Structures are given as C-alpha cells and as structure tokens.
Chains A and B, each alone.
Chain A
Amino acid sequence: MADVLASLADIYTTIGNLLTRLFVDVLGASPELASGIIKFLGAGLLATSVLLILVFNIWFERKVMARIQDRIGPNRVGPWGIFQTVADLAKLFTKEIIIPDGADLVPFMIAPVISVMSVVLIWAVVPFAPTLIGTDLNIGALYFVAVSSLGVVSILLAGWSSNNKYALLGAFRGVAMLVSYEVPFVLALLVPVILSGSMRMGDIVRAQSIPFLVVMPVAALIFWIASVAEVGRQPFDVIEGESEIVSGYHIEYSGFAFAMFYAAEWAHGFTVCALMTVLFLGGWRGPGAEQIPTLGIVYFLGKTFLVYFFQVWTRAILPRMRIDHILSFSWKFLVPLSLVLLVLSVLADKLGQLYIPGYAVAGSFVDLLPRTALLLVVNLIVGGLAALWVAGLGRRERRRQEAALSVASIEGRAAQQAR
C-alpha cells in the first residue's frame, strides 16, 4: 500500500519507469532505444496537449469575455456551450485552403507551420512538476526567447507571400511591435535569471521560496505587459486590426492554414501565462509539492489559469492602442524603466550581500526575507517614481489641451461678436 502511494506521489517517474520496463523487458529493446522511444512519445504527448488544451481555453476565454461585457457567450453546443470550439474546429477542418493569385507558394505554406512551431517548442523547457519537465536545458530562459523570436519570421513570411498590401502592412506593423517589445521582455526576464543565478528553468523555480512576484513586482509587471504585447492581444492587437487593415498578415489564409495561425496565437497567449507562472509565481511550488510531485502540476496549472484569467480580463476591457503610442510606450517608458530597475536592483543586491548581516541569496523562506525586503523597497521606489512621472506627463498634456481648447473658444467668441 505504501509502495502504491509512493508511486502515485511521483506518478511521472512511475509511468516513465513502467514504460522503460515495458520496452526493455517485454519487447526486448536496448535501454538506449527505449529511452529514445519514450522521449519521442513524451515530445508528441506534450505538443499535442498544448494544442488540445486550446479547445478548452478558447471556450473559457470567450465565455469569460462575454460575461465581463455583459453578454452570454457561446451557449448552443453542449452544456454552457462547452463544445463550441469542437464545432468550430470541425468547420475549419472542412474548409478549403485558398491560395491567392501571385502568392509565393512555399513561404505561404511554411509560415503557419513556423508560427505553431515557435509556440509549441517553448513548452519543451516548461517545468510542470519537480520531476516533470521536457528537458531542463541549462540555457532554458535563453532558449524560449530564441524560439519565440521565430514567430516574427512567420509573420513576415505570411505577410509578404500573400501578395496582398493589407497583409504586408499588417506584417510590418506586427514586426515593428514584436521587435520593440522583445527588449523589455528580455530585460524583465533577466530579473529571475539574476535572482536565481541560473538560466535553467528548474533552478529558477527552485530558487523561489518567496515568489519573484513579491521580490520584484515592477519587473513582473513589465514582463506581463511585454508578454501581452508579444502575443498581440488587446490593447496591443495592432497585428490584426480588423477595422484598420482588415485582418493583418493572415488575411489571405483560409481553412486549416488560418486555423494554424489562430491556434498559434491562442496557444501563445496561454504559453506566456505559463512562463509568467514559472518565472515570477514559483511554478509548481506549493504546499507539499516537493514531497508529492503529482501535486506540482495541479499548482502549476492553477496558477497558469489564474494568470490567463487576468489576461482575458485585460483583453475584455481595454481598447486597442494606436501603433505609434504602442511603440512609444515600449521605447520611451518600458525600456528605460526596466533598465533602471535592473541596474538599481543588482546594485542593491550586491550592496546587501556586502553590508547586511544575514543576507542570503538562496535558501528557505526565512533566509530570503532580508533580500526580499530590500529589493521590494527598491522596486516600490522605482515603480512609484515612474508612476508619478507618467501622471505628471498626463497632467501636463491635459492642461495643454485645455489651454488650446479655451484659446479656440475665446477666438470663436471674438469672431462671433465681430460678426
């Protein structure tokens, strides 16, 4: 009984061992071949589940958004409309892929594949539980930045090869925005890497006895904003501004080719939530997760869906920003803010290690308290000053506009009297 419980507590290792035994003892494969087959199966399973969870996510997002906007949302197919996405998928599967005249066929067909690939590959380094991670690369954090930069290539390919001016314009806008937001994204990503002293995703999670959200809230906020922009959701959805450039880079895509772009975008939305969870919310950490790894995935998915809910929330309530405002916001606010924050936090951390007794950079909850307090104060000061600065800018702009308005009205009245 205790054996069964122990094997259930670490169900991932148990399944792995069972499969190895099956291949080696029953089917007579060599251990290397068995491990190769299991890795192959695992990769397939991981990639498939990333795309399958979309079926739920799309329904979830539509339902939540509808409720926030005082609508009912999907409610026809199945209870609460939960099978709506299945019906949509069936429809998309049966539609024809129309290739426009003058399209560049090979790039046109490769673009959606790269788009999905760039998202699914990220999940290879996401730690679901202490014993469940695709591959714990020692450069995990760098790996997912590198892989997700492939998404830019796919957008450019799609926009250009469609032979459509709207698509090309959409691709240009999208690439400009994605490249701009990659900078604050990476700078905010540096924070967990520096705090944990490792780019290995497993180590980053293990270092979070106190989640980095508490240690560096401003960095977490920057990462969150930049990641929403990387996905291209409201308020940053200029990549596909329906009312301006009809649909952006995927206007010429139909049927399953369109479904792949659609899936990539929604999967990316969920993926950045998982990354946020891993980097700032402590990933699989929770009461008892170290002893019972099976619990880890519950905590991980719970936190990820919480972050996802916030993403849907912002999506439902915010309007689309103009492209020049978006770019200015990144280059003139987020990038300087994240640079200042990064330099000051590293400096404070180093000074703390030198001069504060009992200052630990790793260890249990209690060990980390001095560091957390110091960095939290630095964060709050930097974040507060930035907020004050922005508020001042806004006030000045409003005063300028009001002054312009009153001048215009005085001139108008003077003109009326003269008449």
Chain B
Amino acid sequence: MTITPETVAFAIMSVLVLGGGLGVVSSRNLIHAALYLALTLFGVAGLFVLLEAPFLAAVQVLVYLGAIAVLVTITIMVTRRLMGITENVNRQWPVAALIAVLAAAILGFVVISQFAGVYPTQAVPPDTIERMGQSFASHQGFLLPFEVASVLLLAAMIGAIVVARD
C-alpha cells in the first residue's frame, strides 16, 4: 500500500471519527461527550471532502456542527439534573449495546457481501451540484421525496412555534 496525501488524511479523519465516538460513550462529563460528538461530526465532514462531496461536507458542518452540536450542548447546559451526572453508564446500556452491535453487523454484512474483493470505482462527475439540484427538481429524480421532506420540516417548524407560544 502506497502512502498518498489522501491516505494520510483518511487516517486522520478516521482517528477523529472513531476517537470522538469512543469519547462520546466513555466520558463521565456530559458536556465533554457533546464536544466529542462535535469532533466526530467534524471528522465525518472531512470524510465527505475526501469522497469529493464538498456540498455534503459543507452541509455537515453547517447543520451538524453549527446547529445540532450547539443545540445538544445548550440542552445539556440548561438542564441542571443532567449536569450533575458522574456515572458513565445507565440502566439502558445492554439494549444500546445490542442495537449498536446489530447495526454494525448489518453494515458490515452489506459492505462485505457487496464489495468482497471488488472495488468498483468511478470518476466523480465534475458537476455534482448541478446534477443534485436537477434531480431534486425533476419528475425523473426525487421531486416527490424532496417535497415530502419539505412538508415534514415545515410541519416540525410550525409545531415548534406552537409549542413555544404556549
């Protein structure tokens, strides 16, 4: 295996993602867990860059780091009972572990059965964003799922406003 800048970057991002994930489940301080989560999400954005999907990388940073991670952190900070927790396991850990193992098994099975020995590679087309936009807005593409998702988000937004007004 030759060492290229890409493999080095991939190794760094993998360490960020896996180390961050480990930190999330192992840290005793909930705020630290949230910060490790932000690190993990940042690493995933880096992986998107390596896969030549800059749009997804930017959205990952914008949505997950700029919004979700901040939201999680603030939620923990304003909830006093959560701040005092020093145990790093709760009673649900066997179920959580079971689900995690199952998910890993399914993902691993799919990857191995699909790509065992074969690595189908394909050049990334230069105009990915135009193609993505067109497939979101055409009948042949994903117009219906796109609109359904939009309506779902709109409903959630209105719901949030209604809850906030009460």
Please list the residues of chain A having a beta carbon within 8 angstroms of any beta carbon in chain B. Answer: 104, 107, 137-139, 142-143, 145-147, 149-150, 152-153, 156-157, 160, 168, 172, 175, 179, 182, 199
Which 8 pairs, one residue from A and one from B, show the smallest C-beta to C-beta distance?
A: A149-B66, A146-B62, A146-B61, A146-B58, A142-B58, A139-B54, A143-B58, A139-B55
Residue among B38, B69, B73 making CB contact with A160, cutoff 8 Å: B73
Total B residues in contact with A, Cβ cutoff 8 Å: 20
Closest chain A residue, CB of each to CB of B55:
A139
Complex Cα gap A108–B99 (Å): 35
Within 8 Å CB of A179, what residues of B? 67, 70
Contact between B38 and A149 (Cβ–Cβ < 8 Å)? no
Closest chain B residue, CB of each to CB of A137:
B54
Complex Cα gap A146–B31 (Å): 23
Residue among A142, A147, A149, A153 making CB contact with B55, cutoff 8 Å: A142
Contact between A152 and B129 (Cβ–Cβ < 8 Å)? no
Please list the residues of chain B having a beta carbon within 8 angstroms of any beta carbon in chain A. Answer: 31-32, 35, 38, 54-55, 58-59, 61-62, 65-67, 69-70, 73-74, 77-78, 129
Contact between B31 and A160 (Cβ–Cβ < 8 Å)? yes
Within 8 Å CB of A156, what residues of B? 70, 73-74
Contact between A138 and B129 (Cβ–Cβ < 8 Å)? yes
Contact between B67 and A149 (Cβ–Cβ < 8 Å)? yes
Within 8 Å CB of B73, what residues of A? 156, 160
Q: By DSSP majority rule, is chain B's interface helix, strand, loop, or mixed? A: helix
Contact between A142 and B62 (Cβ–Cβ < 8 Å)? yes
A-B contact pairs, 23 of them (CB 8 A): A104-B31, A142-B58, A142-B59, A143-B54, A145-B58, A145-B62, A146-B61, A146-B62, A146-B66, A149-B61, A149-B62, A149-B66, A149-B67, A150-B66, A152-B66, A152-B70, A153-B66, A156-B70, A160-B31, A160-B73, A172-B74, A175-B70, A175-B74
Complex Cα gap A199–B77 (Å): 36
Within 8 Å CB of B58, what residues of A? 139, 142-143, 145-146
A150 to chain B, nearest CB (A): 6
Closest chain A residue, CB of each to CB of B45:
A146
Within 8 Å CB of A142, what residues of B? 55, 58-59, 62
Within 8 Å CB of A168, what residues of B? 77
Closest chain B residue, CB of each to CB of A118:
B66
Extra contacts besides A138-B54, A146-B61, A153-B69 (10): CB < 8 Å = A139-B55, A139-B58, A143-B54, A146-B59, A146-B62, A153-B65, A156-B70, A175-B70, A179-B70, A182-B66
